[in-house]
Chain A
């Protein structure tokens, strides 16, 4: 069996069908197109500004090497180059100074002997290095630490309120017969049709009228009464047998206890799905925070990133690094909770 035949053989001895080729090509292209850009972002986020401005870019982040050299006026940090000497040998040399296209170079081990080198006959000596300052500087010197905190606050609080209020409403709508239940359900279904983008102007005026403009609560509250959340939880609670509730009532449990001690624990799988979705939704929210927040210190990470990327003098090294930071919670969800989400989408068409 030749090598090619060995590598391309199929289980069961079947040959390659055109669909196998399409499958392989599609999956390979998908992998490159999806993780390629993300990987490029990650690599770029560790590059220095000088390196980011290079074209063509290098794949890995590099840093120029330099060495402490004493050229007669005290030790100084000088950049190192690989120099091609006239006799055909190469040597690692430090640049003392440069006049026009000629540089005065010295060997770090013999700093007194100056050699004049044409700048085209040398290459900067570089090594793979990660510019971690891209991450630490914006978190300390810029407002990104604050943006990060705002995002965490908004996400956590909004998710907690969403879970509580949506599950209470879903409980009432699934476990009680009362007049007007149909009407309430109708209203909730109807509002499924009205995305936030249709209500921007009046919502802004309402939020402003109740004094929540430029507050984190102004970002949180309009997003928490999600009809989808109520809907999904109600669907799930309908499957909890009413006999359980009746038995608890026999044992003199209050309605609150029934909700908190029986229905909520039983609805945990649905609550988990809603919690995961809510975290992703709120962490990623853009349009509404963009409108409601105009004070920089209240910006969420998304708004902060957008605002920095829109400035005239773009600090790409910081933006790329902070973009990576903003992906971290999403990555955690992706690696540990992806199963729940895919199940949630497949089951309810929720997004």
Chain B
């Protein structure tokens, strides 16, 4: 494969050599630096930095028009609409009840999903780090769902949870009545947590496994000689030494969980009713899909979510740095 790639690459290099040398002579070293940075920074600027600035402009303007010149400045009205509540715990008392339904759904999702996800990842990592045969095979097994697209994850499970699906077959075989899983609020919520754990646990298990493997074996051997029980060795050796990695994993899982959308949207579409509608879906539907399209409110909501993410990411970057120093 290397040779196949090298041939056209070599040809390209020859084609570019002369004009590049000319450009270097005209523009100098600084010009070359600019040249190397330009493509990435242009795309970056146009599709990341500019939108970021525009986001604020959208959040401060009203109306249903998409283009900024046709929108009118409304100040903080969009934020007021989102944040005004009689009682923030009760979405029905809020001006934008859907937003708060999405907020509390997301909070419940994040709370449950991160705990289960990190728990499953931790147990998996510990077991993969133990004395097992064919470790590579098992690592691959747990990693498999991570590569699947959210649409595939959603569809695989939708097919299993459907009325005449595999799960209901198991229920019947066990002598219970079939359940319409995805039209039940509680089950739909639990399964939205379940499939996202299913899809992502392998990823975090891998990070934790790398952390576990970095712990020197001789510490455990010394503990074994002192007749330390496995439980005690876990509390006194594994946990303290893995803690930096574990914190990074928790924050990373939090960042991802706050943005939950894809696989749950495919599985439940946010339903039944609004019971699995999370923040990103609220933003998507307010901004693009629903008949009550309101880009300003969607932008304001995404800035609020972005604020939470920035705090979490700064925490993560700080933690990563701290971990790497440990």
Contact surface of A with B, Cβ cutoff 8 Å: 17, 19, 22-23, 26-27, 30-31, 33-35, 37-38, 40-41, 44, 53-57, 164-166, 168-169, 171-173, 176, 178, 184, 187-189, 191-195, 197-210, 221-222, 224-225, 227, 230, 254-257, 259-261, 280, 283-284, 286-287, 290-291, 302, 305-306, 309-310, 316, 319-320, 323, 326-327, 330, 333-334, 338, 341-342, 345-347, 349, 351
Contacts and interface: CB of A to CB of B under 8 A. Distances in A.
Nearest to B30: A178
B24 A169 contact: no
A256 B21 contact: yes
B44 interface: yes
A225 B55 contact: no
28 contacts: A30-B142, A31-B141, A35-B141, A41-B155, A165-B43, A168-B36, A169-B39, A169-B41, A172-B33, A172-B36, A191-B44, A193-B310, A194-B48, A194-B310, A195-B309, A198-B303, A202-B55, A202-B57, A206-B47, A206-B51, A206-B54, A222-B43, A222-B48, A225-B44, A284-B149, A286-B262, A286-B266, A323-B151
A349 B252 contact: yes
Contact of B32 (A195, A256, A302): A256
Given A200-B283, A302-B151, A323-B152, A57 B164 contact: yes
Interface of B: 9, 12-13, 16-17, 20-21, 24, 29-30, 32-33, 35-37, 39-41, 43-44, 46-55, 57-58, 66-68, 123-124, 127, 130, 132, 138-152, 154-160, 164-166, 168-169, 172-173, 198, 203, 206-207, 209-210, 230, 248, 252, 259, 261-262, 266, 269, 280, 283-284, 287-288, 295, 298-299, 302-303, 305-306, 309-310, 313-314, 317, 320
Contact residues of A: prevailing secondary structure: helix
Contacts of A55: 164, 168-169
B250 to A, nearest CB: 13
Nearest to A52: B164
Given A56-B169, A193-B313, A27 B132 contact: yes
Contact of A255 (B29, B164, B287, B303): B29
A199, A224, A316, A347 — which one has the most chain B CB atoms within 10 A of its CB?
Answer: A199
Contacts of A195: 259, 309
Given A41-B159, A168-B40, A302-B150, 14 more contacts: A40-B159, A40-B160, A44-B159, A57-B169, A164-B39, A187-B49, A188-B44, A197-B283, A200-B284, A202-B51, A254-B17, A259-B36, A283-B149, A349-B207
A224 B48 CA distance: 11
A260 B266 contact: no
B29 A176 contact: yes
Contact of A257 (B17, B48, B50, B144): B17
B66 A291 contact: no
Ranked 9 nearest A-B pairs via Cβ: A284-B149, A202-B54, A256-B20, A346-B210, A169-B40, A172-B36, A202-B51, A198-B306, A193-B313
Given A199-B302, A205-B67, A302-B149, A256 B207 contact: no
B130 A19 contact: yes
B50 A206 contact: yes
A346 B21 contact: no
Contacts of A347: 210
A351 B203 contact: yes
A306 B151 contact: yes
A3 B120 CA distance: 34
Contacts of A22: 127
B16 A260 contact: yes
B145, B156, B280, B320 — which one has the most chain A CB atoms within 10 A of its CB?
Answer: B156
A199 B143 contact: no
